Amino acid sequence: MNEIIQIVPQKIGEENQNVVSARQLHQALGVKKKFPDWANYNIDNILFENNIDFIVVWSEPKIGFAFLSETEVQNRTPQSLTASGYQSDFLLTLNTAKEIAMMSRTANGKTVRNYFIQVEQEYLELLKSGCHCWQNIRNEGKSSRKALSDSIQNMIEFAFANGSKNAKN
């Protein structure tokens, strides 16, 4: 199966769930509206609930699925984050992403929705078969993302140690 949108595990509320980036969903759907307008309509106006259907995150676009932690965002304003090159994003549960895909009215909407359904079916079949190989796949993904984050952090620390004032940029 071709990966249309990256699906990653994330805790939302009290539950670990598979989620997707709203920015990646927007791109995959081929929506003509700008992301902020599209997100405002689809997330705020359709009454999805924060910490149930999605969470708000801030990311560095060059890094991809590397998001700032809550403590990194805690003492900063959205304006200061935007000025530093970060973008707001939403991590959507698969059910929320499917619902948005169904309502998108784009040529890719049905394809994206079917992709999510297929991923869930494959996941359920693995669970039913008693195979726990999905846990290994998930753990491999976690370790590679951690290794990448650690490498980036080491590069930033090295740059600071060598006198860079803009290492985080």
Q: Where are the domains of the chain?
A: 8-129, 131-161
Q: How far is CA 167 from the centre of its chain?
A: 24
- If pLDDT is split at 50, 70 and 90, which confidence band does 106 have? confident
Tens of pLDDT along 111-143? 898 888 888 888 888 777 776 565 666 666 666
Written as six digits, the tokens of 9 are: 């595990």
Q: Give the residue among 71, 55, 43, 62 at the shortest CA–CA distance from 13.
A: 55
Written as six digits, the tokens of 12 are: 């939302």
Tens of pLDDT along 50-105? 889 998 888 776 666 567 766 677 778 878 888 877 888 899 999 999 899 988 88
Q: How far is CA 60 from the centre of its chain?
A: 12
What is the pTM for the complete model shown?
Answer: 0.68
Contact residues for 102 (Cβ-Cβ < 8 A; gap 6+): 109, 113
Checking if the pLDDT of 169 tops 80, the result is no
- If pLDDT is split at 50, 70 and 90, which confidence band does 168 have? low
Contacts 24+ apart (CB under 8 A), 19-24: 19/54, 19/55, 19/91, 19/92, 19/93, 19/94, 20/91, 20/92, 20/94, 20/97, 21/59, 21/65, 21/89, 21/90, 21/91, 21/92, 22/54, 22/89, 22/90, 22/91, 22/92, 23/87, 23/89
Tens of pLDDT along 21-61? 999 999 999 999 999 899 988 887 777 898 899 988 887 76
The pLDDT, as a whole number, for residue 45 is: 75
